[in-house]
Structure 1
Amino acid sequence: MIHAYDPRTGESFGEPIAESTDAEVDAAVEAAHAAAPAWRAAARPEVLEAIASALEANVEELWTVADRETALGETRLRGEVARAASQFRLFAEVLRDGGHLEAVISRQADVRRMNHPLPGVVGVFSASNFPFAFSVAGGDTASALAAGCPVVVKAHPAHPLTSELSAGVIRSALPDPALLGLVHGLAAGKRLVQHPDVVAVGFTGSIPGGKAIQALIDERPEPIPFFGELGSVNPVVVLPSAAREGLASGFAASLTLGTGQFCTNPGLVFVPDDADLVASLGTAVAGSSGSAMLSERIRQGYLDGVERLAKLTLLAEGAQGEAAWAVAPRVFTIDLAAFAEGLPAIAEECFGPSSIVVTYGDAAELPSVLERLEGSLTATVHATDVDEARPVAEALARRAGRLIWNGWPTGVAVCWAMHHGGPWPASTAPAHTSVGAMAIRRWVRPTAYQGWPSELLPPELRDDNPLGVPQRVDG
């Protein structure tokens, strides 16, 4: 049985949820698969907008249940429901635009190509840290449904009741409730990944979790794509020309947002060897406060991580807070040469409100060290001198999927241009994103039609283009 826990007290509450049996997983996948043909022919933009409206209409119940399970608070959770709704509305826009189909016509060779939905069910693994935006109502679900694929979600055990409630709200707006399946339990996740009707998997979680899913996929007779977001330290480089005002407070706010439980948390900060600057960062963190982490397991993982970092110099420690699963923010410091000597182990992600401040004497020494970092979702440069920043920016561009100038990495806009991916271990497929309009590309595949009769062509590839989708003709 899976129990819901209150991170503020550490106590379980509510009725436990039974782990899904193999038969229940099979039934969910097969029902979703059977619902796919009608869904691909449905007016999907209108349905996606109806889902968005349903989420907004049920926000009171959604955030209340989620807060009991996550302790993330009303403001954060209301905002996350709004973000989840905005993702469904964005994909309604994507479908109406039609550009994701990438319709291409080469008349001289008589070849026409476009994207089609993957022919099966998408399996989605919910994230712990976003009970809405990266879970049952998250971007993987929204983008897969938009593409024309039914979805079966493996709920995260940190918020089972929120998962059930979210699924119910979404199903209320779907033409067929079977288009969204929900299963619980570790064994159910394995069964889901290996079901023959599952044609792709999306996952947000740990590196070990991602490797375990990949191993299960490798056991399948037929391989399928795996889009995993696994780990990221999100390096931030503060160059000598950077404006100092607001730098320390911005760092502390980004570090402690959501008790540091963001995949875009600034885990490494490179700063000039300036005592006043380093001290200001420490002072800002010392004045911050931690709060409850999402689960006892995640809390223990954070404590293990900071214990590993204890060999470094502790720069500052914030207040822990009073919740049962609360932790204190901690920031450590080390010089660039010692940091480089400790790579790659020293730069391993510590999920939670922890960061390493790396001091350097000469900015010219940074690029060679930055090149040795593992891939990240983001990389940030603080500077006012563009020429000074260029070598660092070039090094970071090869190690991250999103580059930020004079800002902080936490906060990922749901928009057309967003890329939320990066080189391993940030993601398993760095060409793809889990946030933004292009997330839909994970769940489609191209088909080319050569010498095909017009009557048999999809409408999107016909010369009369009855649906008015963007077409690229002869280049």
Structure 2
Amino acid sequence: MTTIDTDTRTAASLDVVAAAARRAFAITVASTAAERAAWLTAVADALDANGPELVGLADEESHLGTARLTSELARTTAQLRLFAAAVVEGSYLEATIDHPDPQATPPRPDLRRMLRPLGPVAVFSASNFPFAFAVAGGDTASALAAGCPVIVKGHSAHPRLSARTAEVVTAALAEAGAPAGTFGHVTGRETGVALVQHPEIRAVGFTGSLHGGRALFDLAQGRPDPIPFYGELSAVNPVLITRAALEVRADELAAGLAASFTLGAGQFCTNPGVVLVPAGSRFAERVAAAVGSPAPVPMLTDGIAAAFAAGLEGLAAHDGVRVVTGAPAQRPGAGSAVVLATTTDAVIADSSALLAECFGPSTLIVEYADVDAALAAVRAVGGSLTATVHAEPGEELHEIIAVLTEVAGRVLFAGWPTGVAVSWAQQHGGPWPSTTSIHTSVGVTAMRRFLRPVAFQDAPNAALPPELRDENVLGIPRRIDGVLTLP
């Protein structure tokens, strides 16, 4: 395995890893869908085979529990297999053929277009998902599926797991016939910074804090040759509950919210951090009762726990906020559930203070006098990964939906946003500051981040990629002269 650890990182060492990735790209760019599918399946099989060991390491380092981690590992390997199926199916390529038309204005030559891999990709592991958003997670899987070699920067929250997972991935790829350099693993903050700036890197995938992500985004844009930086950064994921919904199922909604915002010690990027409810409903007290008095839970890192405590203390000290249950002062290294309450007037007057992400098991209940006030508060939230509405059948929702789709990439009707299915239709990404792009980091179209369109004009049939030749030997969907043609 090509690895740089924190103690030995140097520019020269990173050059070695990056050069290996560049050499590998000369092969992966020309690889067939069947070959890449085999690579992805081999990685999934190897992770499953080493599951007990990997889950044990993850639990020691993350405190997330073996049940949660076993499920997350299964999600990760299923994701790899989904990408394997998707690359063979082929529609992700957007293969398009326009035959010549001399009568068009202007005259049209023979044009054929498809998506091609960018080149070596840097991936930054997340702290809160040691499998699904880490070494072999969605960014890595989608980049490999697209035909891009990957260099992963392991997260300091789970160093032993990262190193061991990287060993498993490297061995599986080698056994499956992938070229050396298809996958690399590095560690260390300085190495991560250098990785973003390295001239061989063509794109970056990142899941982490707003501060850290913004710093790396600026580095990516400040290069002599700016590259795409796909960052998932910060979200408070607003929820709007109508009066009619509360009248019918207040206790059910309170229990659902309590379960959602405390799941995994609140360390989910889709945590419902701001919940808008009708004034006078005493919904915050219902949520507090549903939460009860749980014991503090170890958080991922001491730094995350300290940041959570500091964020809570700032919210609790605000004149417009009251603490409904829980203590803003948290035990070092751990987090306990806190429910806070405020009003739309307070949120709109000081949105930067009240709507900042507080990463941990807390939620802010915001009371509104009418729907217009609630929607004004939602707009003040800004970009989020998700937005949710709980309403009753027959309620007019067009205005609410219009605003929720302005601020979020996934809009839920009932239910709670924690939990992200991996599918063709999934969208995990929203306006700034939730992400730095319009693309998803979960689901099949996550591949789109690591692909770019190339058009071939008047090319001889034999010179074209197989996907664009006259005979559709691969049997993939193609758009021919404007008409979608299925195999």
TM-score (norm 2): 0.91
Q: In the TM superposition, what whole-angstrom CA distance separates every residue of 1:24-65 from its partner, at most 9, and x where no partner exists? A: 222111112211222332511112111111111111000000
- 2:365 is equivalent to residue 357 of structure 1: yes
In the other structure, the counterpart of 1:463 is 470
- 2:238 aligned partner: 235
Which residue among 363, 368, 379 is the counterpart of 1:371? Answer: 379
Task: Give the aligned partner of residue 189 of structure 2.
Answer: 186
Query: Hey, what does 1:339 align to over in structure 2?
Result: 347
What is the alpha-carbon distance in structure 2 between the residues aligned to residue 211 and residue 378 of structure 1? 20
Count residues with an aligned counterpart: 457
Distance, in Å, in 2 between the alignment partners of 1:436 and 1:24 is: 33
Q: Distance in 2 between matches of 1:277 and 1:293?
A: 27
The one-character-per-residue Cα deviations of 1:278-305 (angstroms, maximum 9, x if unpaired) are 3211211234444111111111110110
In structure 1, the residue matched to 2:304 is 298
For residue 197 of structure 1, what is the amino acid of its counterpart?
E
Q: Map 1:75-474 to 2 at 5 A.
A: 75-107=67-99, 108=101, 109=108, 110-118=110-118, 120-174=119-173, 175=177, 176-242=179-245, 243-310=249-316, 311=318, 312-317=321-326, 325-430=333-438, 432-474=439-481
Contact map agreement 1:29 1:197 (CA 8 A) in 2: yes
State the distance in 1 between where 2:133 and 2:423 align: 15
- Structure 1 residues 67, 321: closer, same or farther in 2, change over 3 A? farther
Equivalent of 1:69 in 49, 61, 65: 61
Partner amino acid, structure 1, of 2:123? V
Paired with 1:39 and 1:113, the residues of 2 have a C-alpha distance of 19
- Whether the 8 Å CA contact 2:251–2:286 is kept in 1: the answer is no
- Would the aligned equivalents of 2:309 and 2:330 in 1 still touch at CA under 8 Å? no
Q: What SS class does the counterpart of residue 380 from structure 2 fall into?
A: coil
Relative distance call for 1:121 and 1:37 in structure 2 (3 A) is: same
* SS of alignment partner, residue 237 of structure 1: strand
- Shift of the 248–287 alpha-carbon distance from structure 1 to 2, 3 Å rule, reads farther
What does the per-residue CA deviation read over 1:404-463, in whole Å, with 9 as the maximum and x for residues that have no partner?
Answer: 111100000011100000000010002x00000000000000001111111111111111
SS at match of 1:170: helix
Deviations 1:201-255 (A, max 9, x none): 0100111111111221233111111100000000011111213242111111111
1: CA distance between counterparts of 2:372 and 2:150? Answer: 49
Partner Cα distance (2:295, 2:403) in 1: 34
Residue 394 to residue 272, structure 1, CA distance change in 2 (3 Å):
same
Contact 2:306 2:333 (C-alpha < 8 Å) held by counterparts:
no
- How far off its partner does 1:465 sit? 1.3
Whether 2:39 is the aligned partner of 1:30: answer no
Give the root-mean-square deviation of aligned CA atoms: 1.7
Contact 2:288 2:324 in 1 (8 A): yes
- Choose which of 36, 48, 52 in structure 2 pairs with 1:60: 52
In the alignment, structure 1 segments of 5+ residues that lack a partner are 1-15
- Whole-Å Cα distance in 2 between the matches of residues 17 and 345 of structure 1? 36
- The code of the aligned residue for 1:122 comes to V
The CA deviation at 1:257 is: 0.8
CA contact (8 A) 1:287 1:318 kept: no
Output the amino acid matched with 1:361.
A
Distance 1:72 1:319 in 2: 22
**Alignment deviations for residues 275-330 of structure 1 (CA, whole Å, 9 cap, x no partner):** 443321121123444411111111111011001101220011179998x6112111
Distance 2:7 2:296 in 1: 33
Q: Do the aligned residues in 1 keep the contact of 2:284 with 2:339 (CA within 8 Å)?
A: no
Q: Distance in 2 between matches of 1:258 and 1:320?
A: 19
Contact map agreement 2:348 2:376 (CA 8 A) in 1: no
**How far, CA to CA, are the matches of 2:374 and 2:366 in structure 1?**
10
Alpha carbons 1:228, 1:428 under 8 Å: kept:
yes
Q: Which residue identity lines up with residue 323 of structure 2 in the other structure?
A: L
Kept in 2: contact 1:239–1:389 (CA 8 A): no
- Secondary structure (helix, strand or coil) at the match of 1:384 reads coil
* 2:348 alignment partner, SS class: helix
Residue identity matched to 2:112: R
Distance 1:360 1:320 in 2: 28
Distance in 1 separating the partners of 2:252 and 2:123? 39
In the superposition, the TM-score normalised over structure 1's length comes to 0.93
Letter in 1 for 2:172: A
2: distance between equivalents of 1:371 and 1:81?
A: 36
Q: Would the aligned equivalents of 1:320 and 1:327 in 2 still touch at CA under 8 Å? A: no
Secondary structure at 1:158 match in 2: coil
**Residues 123 and 201 in structure 1, CA contact (< 8 A), matched pair in contact too:** yes
Unmatched segments (≥5 aa) in structure 2: 102-107, 483-487
The letter for the 2-side match of 1:360 is Y
How many angstroms apart in 1 are the aligned matches of 2:330 and 2:417? 25
